C-alpha cells in the first residue's frame, strides 16, 4: 500500500532539471538586481557571486538585471515588471 502525501508531485529527478536551472538563473538575476540597487553588498567569495560573474562574462554584459535580450550563447531576455499599483 502506498500512502498519499497531499500537495505534492512525484517526478523523476531528470524531469526537474530545467526548472532547477531556471531557478538558479533567475536567482542570479535577482541577486544582481539587489546589488545594483543597494539592497545587498556583493561578496566576492560567495558562490552566487562567482556564478553571476561567470554568466555576465559568457553573456558579454556588465549587468544581467537590466532590460535586454541576448541571443548568444543562448537566448536570454530580461525585462522589468511594470505592474499597476492596487
Q: What is the pLDDT of residues 15-25, one digit of tens each?
A: 788 888 899 99
Q: How many helices (H) and strands (E) does the chain have?
A: 2, 2
pLDDT in tens, 25-80: 999 999 999 999 999 998 889 999 999 999 999 999 999 989 999 988 888 899 88
Contact 77, 69 (CB under 8 A): yes
Residue 72, number of CB atoms within 10 A of its CB: 9
Report pTM: 0.74
Query: Which grid cell sits at 72?
Result: 548568444
Query: Which grid cell sits at 33?
Result: 538586481
Amino acid at each position: 500500500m502506498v500512502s498519499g502525501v497531499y500537495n505534492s508531485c512525484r517526478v523523476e529527478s531528470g524531469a526537474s532539471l530545467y526548472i532547477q536551472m531556471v531557478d538558479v538563473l533567475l536567482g542570479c538575476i535577482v541577486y544582481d538586481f539587489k546589488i545594483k540597487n543597494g539592497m545587498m553588498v556583493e561578496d566576492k567569495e560567495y558562490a552566487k557571486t562567482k556564478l553571476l560573474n561567470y554568466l555576465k562574462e559568457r553573456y558579454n554584459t556588465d549587468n544581467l538585471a537590466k532590460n535586454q535580450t541576448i541571443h548568444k550563447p543562448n537566448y536570454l531576455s530580461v525585462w522589468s515588471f511594470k505592474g499597476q499599483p492596487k
